[in-house]
Amino acid sequence: MTFQPTAGLGLKPQHYADALACWAEGLWFEVHPENYMAAGGPRLAWLDAIARDRPISLHGVGLSLAADESPDEDHLAALKRLVDRYRPMVVSEHLAWSMRRGVYAPDLLPFPRTRAALDRIAANVDRMQSVLGRQVLIENPSLYLPLTGHDLGEVEFLAELSKRTGCGLLVDVNNVHVSASNLGFRAEAYLDAIPAAAVGEIHLAGHAADERLGEALLIDTHDRPVSEAVWRLYARLIDRIGPRPTLIERDDEVPDFGTLMTERDRAHRLLAARELADA
């Protein structure tokens, strides 16, 4: 992968001015394209200004690649307009679904990882990449249900998807931790099996224990700092595969920009140290 392996931040509208003024080395920003699918106005103007100085990553949440139908062509066209406008360093989506028969459920829904599902999703990723004219990265979701009927494990499925379509992988270490805890597998073994060459980006975020069930059910809330357990998994992952662009995600209970930058700088230091180790 050719992207600069530095640390970035999820960009929130309340931080536009701070983001524009920040001079931190290697800083980049990620946004959900769904929040910028407008004809014009201040949001696009802010992103235009920030994208002049910083690399941008477009991280989609609504294309529903794991649906039992093709991706929505209007949505794909709107995404293409943003890709053309911002020339992002990364475009990514999820191994999940959220749209069916024209109704949108804003979540990352699970599915049985069958061979038939792999065929369908590979066709959807092909469609996405051919419309956008570029490679995309696919992210592992957080899982909350012990589904049966899988033909492939999640890593195996993602590796096969990457091999078939040429897509890269976005490894969300917090999602691995949450899924491993909820479904009872070892996060370390999962991360160790990921094909290093396919990984184009890493996500880090905070999670919470369910109010009723406690640690038995972890929820990918993005409403607090990254946990120490996730930082340890992250260090293990980059130790094996080398540095990759790494994002701190926060979508709820968003603190001030400086607080988020402190977390982002921690990832930045780990990446720099990992790069030195190679040199």
Count the neighbouring beta carbons within 10 Å of the beta carbon of residue 114.
Answer: 14
Burial of 165 (0-12, 13-18, 19+ CB in 10 A): buried
Q: What angle do CA 190, 250, 210 make, to 5 degrees?
A: 65
C-alpha closest to that of 30 among 93, 109, 105: 93
Residue 106 as a binder of other proteins (CB under 8 A): the answer is yes
Measured from the CB atom, the residue of 120 and 266 that comes closer to other proteins is: 120
Residue 214 as a binder of other proteins (CB under 8 A): the answer is no
Residue 161 as a binder of other proteins (CB under 8 A): the answer is no
58, 31, 202, 196 alpha-carbon torsion, rounded to 10°: 0
Residues 6+ apart with CB under 8 A from 55: 3, 4, 8, 28, 29, 88, 89
Length of the chain: 279
Residue 77 as a binder of other proteins (CB under 8 A): the answer is no
In this chain, which of 84, 112, 134, 192 binds other proteins, going by CB under 8 A?
112
x/- letters, 171..200, toward other proteins (CB under 8 A):
-----------x------------------
Measured from the CB atom, the residue of 29 and 111 that comes closer to other proteins is: 111
Residue 86 as a binder of other proteins (CB under 8 A): the answer is no
Judged by the rule CB under 8 A, the positions of this chain that interact with other proteins are 34-35, 37-45, 61-64, 67-68, 72, 74-75, 78, 97-100, 102-107, 109-112, 114, 116-117, 120, 144-149, 182, 210, 212-213, 217, 219
